[in-house]
Structure 1
Amino acid sequence: MSDRPDIFLFTIDALRADHLSCHGHHRETPFFDSLADRTISFSNAFSVSSHTREAMPPLLSGKRPSEFAANGFTQVPEEETLAGRLRAEGYTTGGFHSNPYLSRAYGFGAGFDEFYDDLVLGQNKIIALAQQALDRFVLNRGGQYYARAPEINERSLDWLGDADGPVFLWNHYMDPHGPYHAPKRHYAERELSAREAESLYRRSWKKPDSITDEEQQLLRDSYDDEIRYLDGKLESFFDELEQRDRLEDAVVIVTADHGDAFGEHGYYTHPRYLHDTLLHVPLFVSPPGSSVMDVDNPVSTLDVVPTILDQVDGSFGGDTGTPLVTSRESSGFEIPDREDHVFASATGEDEDKGIRRFAARGKRWKVLLKRDIETEEIVEQTVYDCENDPGEQDPRRDSGNEQAVLLLERVEQFSRDQPSQTADGEGRDVETSDEIEDRLEALGYK
C-alpha cells in the first residue's frame, strides 16, 4: 500500500470556467492560471448536472445523476462511494466542506475516516439551533452560512498532518456560491452588507426580471471577487502541501460541480437547466510526476472517479465514466480514447416538476431534450451550434447537419436508458434540522 499515491480531490461550488483568466476571462485568477500551466488542463469539461444535488454525488461515486434523483438525492451505500472503495484499499480518508446537501444528514459521510460538514449534529435539532445562535451572535458570521476556504484549509491540513498514508483528501469550497460577499473587494463598485448581499442574491433567483442592469453587473463583479479571494486561498493551501512534500507524487484533481448564471438565459444562480453557463467547468488533473498538456476534447465530471481508481490500480467494475488520464509504467500517463460527446441531465422542479432535461455536448454541436417522466414523451428538443453561437442564444430546432442529427439520436437513446422514477421529498430516512433548512434557504436552495 505504501507505494500508492496520495489523492487530493478539490471541488468548488458554482465555479464556471469562463470566469477564470485561463479560460479567457478579462479578470486575473493567477493561481488557476498556474494550474493550467503545470497540469493536464481540460478546456472542454462539462458537469453531469447543473445543481449540487445531481452534480456533486457523481463526483464522489461515479454514478449518474438519475440514480440520485431516484433515491431522494442521498448518497449510495459506502461500498459504492469513492471514499469507501479507497478506504477498503488501505487509504485513510478525509472530507471537509460545508454544503448542507453534502452533509451526514444525506449520507455523505460514508467511507470517510474524518468528515467535517460544518454542522455540529446535522440531524439533532436542539444542538443545531444552539450552533445557529453561536454562528450568528458569538462567531459573528453575520448571515454567512458556510465555512470559508481558510477554515476548510486549516482543518484539512491539521488532519493531514496526523493521517497515516496513503491518504484520500476531499475539500469542497463554497466561496463562489452566493450570496456573493467576499471578505475583500477587487471589482465590485460598492460594498454590500451581508444582509444586502443575501437580499440581492435571493431576489435574483426568485424575481429575475426585477434585476436591473446595474444590479446584474454588481452580481457579476461580486462573484468575481469571490473567485479572486478563493484563488489566493487555494494558492496558500498548495504552497503548504508543497512545503510538506505532498504534491509531486500525488494525484491532484481540481474541478467544480457546476457554474452560475447571470441572466444570460433569463435566470440567475444555478436552477435545473443545462446551458453551458451552468455545465462548463474548470478541470485540472495532475498525475504523479510532471504532466503538462491542454486537452480540448469534451470530457465529463463523471470521469473523475474512474481517473482516480485507475491511478491506484483499482480494478472496480460498474463505473460509467472514462478515465481522463491512465497511468503507464513506461510513459507515465496517456490520454485514452473516448466518445466525442458527453451527457448531462437535470430533474425538473416547481413548474417543471415531472420533467427531466438531458443534454449531449460535442465539440461543436449541442442538443437539449426535455422528456416527460411519467409518459416518457419527448416534449422539446433544441440544437445549438456552439462554435458559431457559444452563448446558446440562437436555437436551431431543425438541423440537417449530420453530426447534430447523430447527437440527437444519441441523447434520445441516453434519455430512454436512464431510470424514469424520481423520489418525492428528501429521500430515505433523512431528517433535516432547522439549521440545515436555514442554511439551504440562505444559499438559494429553498
Structure 2
Amino acid sequence: MTGSSNNVILISCDALRADHLGCYGYRRNTTPELDEFAQGSVRFRNAYSVSSHTREAVPALMTGQYPDVAIDSKYHLVSDTIASRLSEHGYATAGFHSNPYLSRSYNFDRGFDTFDDDLYLGQHKIIALAQRALDKLRNRHYARAEEINRRALAWLDSIDTGEPFFLWNHYLDTHGPYNPPAEYATLYADREISGREAQRLYKRAINDPESITDDEQRLLIDLYDGEIKYNDEYIGRFLASLRERELLEDAIVLITADHGEAFGEHGCYGHPRYLHDELTHVPMIVQPPGNKASVLEAPTSTLDIAATILDMIGRDADLPGESALADRDGDRPVFLQVQGEDNHSHLKRYAVRTHQETCRCERDCGSNAVEYADCADQGLRSELETHVQERIRRETGDGKRPSENVDGNIERRLEALGYK
C-alpha cells in the first residue's frame, strides 16, 4: 500500500479489444506506445470487462459495483464513483470524454469537480446550435483523442498539482463508425472511404451482418486498426506530457477498455449484448508507484479497478471486486453480466470466467428461469448458480422506471455512433 498523496490517472478506451494490441500478441504494430508503457507496468493477460456494453460496463468500472447496483433501470448512475471516494480524501477530480451515455444526463458527473462530456447543452442555445452544425458538417459526433488530451492538460495546468488529483480520460476513437484521421485511414486499408461511407458500412454490419462480404469485413478491421493506431499515438503523447510536467513517475496509472468489439465472430459486429470473449476480453495495464513490471495470468475484472485504486492509496474499498495487485495463488473466477435489448430486453445474460474455463447462462427476468450453456465444469456452474441467485436477491424496487429527460442532441449523437 502507498500513501494517499499519489495522483491517480484512469485512461479508458471505448470498444478496444485486447487481442488488437501488440502487447497482447497482435500481428500488427497498432500500439507501440501502449506496448512500451506496458513493459514498465503490470499487464493483466486475462482481464475481462464486467459487461459487453458501455451502459453497464462503465458504471461498473467507475463505481466498483456490478451494473445491477451501479445504475437504475434507465441506466442512470446511482452509486458513488471512484471520483466521489477520492474527493472525500482531498483529491481534485476531473473527467473528460464524449460518449453521450456517460454524460451528466445519466449522472456520470457524480463526484467530479470538473466534468467535460463534450455536450455543451443547456448552457447557451447558440452554443448548442453551433455544436449541432459542427457535428453535421464534420460528420463526427465525438471529440477526438487530440481534443480530449488538450482539455485534460488545460485542466491540469489550471490546478495546484502539489495536491493530489484524480483524472479520468475516456477515448471514443476506437468506437465505430471506424473513420480514422487521414494519415491513419490508409495505414492498413488499401483504399480510403468517406466518413459517411464508413458510417453506412458500420451500421449495415450491425443491422445486417450476413450482408458483409469478406472484403468489407477486412476493411472494417483495417479501419478499426487505424483508429487504434491513432488512439495509441495520442495516449502516448498524453503520457509524455504528464512526464514533462513531472506528474507521471509517482502516479498511479490504469489503462483499460470498457469492452471489446466483434468482427463477425458469433455472427455479430459492434458490441451486441452478449458475453463472448471478443466482446469482453480487454486490455488492463496498471502502473503502480515504483514502476514494478510484471505480467499476471490470473483472471481480472474491470470491476476490480476501483478496489485497486483504493488499495493503492491505502483506503478500504468495501466493494465486491478486489485489488488486481493483491497476492493470489492459482485461478480465480470473475463474473460478467449484460441486459438484453429490444426483443431480448426481458433477458439477462451472465458468465463466469476462470483462466481456462467458461460457463454462461441466460435468465428470463419475468420467470427467473435460467438456462445454462458451455458449462463442462460442474464446480464452475455451481459458482455461477450461486452468483446469479445473489444478483436476483440484490434486485429490489417496485419495477417503476424513472422518467428519462435526455436532450435531443444526445439522442442524435447516439444514433450517429450506431447505438440507436
- State whether TM-score is above 0.5: yes
| Aligned counterpart, 1:277 | 278
Query: Once the two structures are superposed, what CA deviation does each residue of 1:227-255 show, in whole Å capped at 9, x if it has no partner?
Result: 01111111111111111111111100000
The reply to whether residue 417 of structure 1 matches residue 413 of structure 2 is no
Q: Matches of 1:441 and 1:60 in 2, distance apart?
A: 24
Q: Matches of 2:188 and 2:76 in 1, distance apart?
A: 38
User: Where in structure 2 are there 5+ consecutive unaligned residues?
Assistant: none
| Aligned counterpart, 1:393 | none
% identical equivalent positions? 47
Q: Secondary structure at the match of 2:238?
A: helix
Listed as ranges, the matches of 1:279-358 within 5 Å are: 279-317=280-318, 319-325=319-325, 335-336=327-328, 340-358=332-350
Question: After TM superposition, what 4+ stretches of structure 1 lie above 3 angstroms from structure 2?
Answer: 68-71, 122-130, 335-339, 419-430
The reply to whether residue 434 of structure 1 matches residue 408 of structure 2 is yes
Q: Matches of 1:149 and 1:320 in 2, distance apart?
A: 32
Q: CA deviation at 1:65?
A: 1.5
Q: Secondary structure at the match of 1:35?
A: helix
Q: Secondary structure at the match of 2:76?
A: coil
The reply to whether residue 371 of structure 1 matches residue 369 of structure 2 is no
Q: Secondary structure at the match of 2:131?
A: helix
| Aligned counterpart, 2:38 | 36
Q: Matches of 1:26 and 1:134 in 2, distance apart?
A: 37
Cα gap change, 1:57 to 1:3, in 2 (>3 Å): closer
Q: Matches of 1:125 and 1:372 in 2, distance apart?
A: 44
Q: Matches of 1:247 and 1:255 in 2, distance apart?
A: 17
| Aligned counterpart, 2:97 | 97
Q: Matches of 1:428 and 1:285 in 2, distance apart?
A: 37
In 2, are the aligned partners of 1:123 and 1:432 still within 8 Å (CA)? no
Q: CA deviation at 1:121?
A: 1.9
Cα gap change, 1:250 to 1:202, in 2 (>3 Å): same
Q: Matches of 1:124 and 1:56 in 2, distance apart?
A: 29
The reply to whether residue 72 of structure 1 matches residue 64 of structure 2 is no
In 2, are the aligned partners of 1:2 and 1:166 still within 8 Å (CA)? no
In 2, are the aligned partners of 1:125 and 1:435 still within 8 Å (CA)? no
| Aligned counterpart, 2:116 | 116
In 2, are the aligned partners of 1:150 and 1:233 still within 8 Å (CA)? yes
Give the alignment's TM-score, normalised by structure 1: 0.88
Q: Matches of 2:86 and 2:45 in 1, distance apart?
A: 28
Q: Matches of 1:44 and 1:248 in 2, distance apart?
A: 26
| Aligned counterpart, 2:211 | 210
Q: CA deviation at 1:171?
A: 0.3
The reply to whether residue 153 of structure 1 matches residue 155 of structure 2 is no
Q: Matches of 2:372 and 2:209 in 1, distance apart?
A: 24
Q: Secondary structure at the match of 1:356?
A: strand
Give the alignment's TM-score, normalised by structure 2: 0.93
Query: Once the two structures are superposed, what CA deviation does each residue of 1:32-54 show, in whole Å capped at 9, x if it has no partner?
Result: 21122110000000000000000
In 2, are the aligned partners of 1:179 and 1:443 still within 8 Å (CA)? yes
Cα gap change, 1:170 to 1:427, in 2 (>3 Å): farther
Cα gap change, 1:302 to 1:338, in 2 (>3 Å): farther
User: Where in structure 1 are there 5+ consecutive unaligned residues?
Assistant: 327-334, 384-398
Query: Once the two structures are superposed, what CA deviation does each residue of 1:125-163 show, in whole Å capped at 9, x if it has no partner?
Result: 8864442023334xxxx2111101000001000101122
Query: Once the two structures are superposed, what CA deviation does each residue of 1:174-220 show, in whole Å capped at 9, x if it has no partner?
Result: 01000000002210111010100000001011111111111011001
Q: Matches of 2:403 and 2:330 in 1, distance apart?
A: 38
Q: How many residues align?
A: 412
Q: Matches of 2:110 and 2:66 in 1, distance apart?
A: 18
In 1, are the aligned partners of 2:97 and 2:170 still within 8 Å (CA)? yes
Code of the residue aligned with 1:444 in structure 2: it is G
Q: Matches of 1:157 and 1:163 in 2, distance apart?
A: 10
Q: CA deviation at 1:336?
A: 4.4
Q: Matches of 1:2 and 1:375 in 2, distance apart?
A: 49
Code of the residue aligned with 2:104 in structure 1: it is R
1:45 to 44, 47, 53: 47
Code of the residue aligned with 1:60 in structure 2: it is M
2:170 to 169, 172, 188: 172
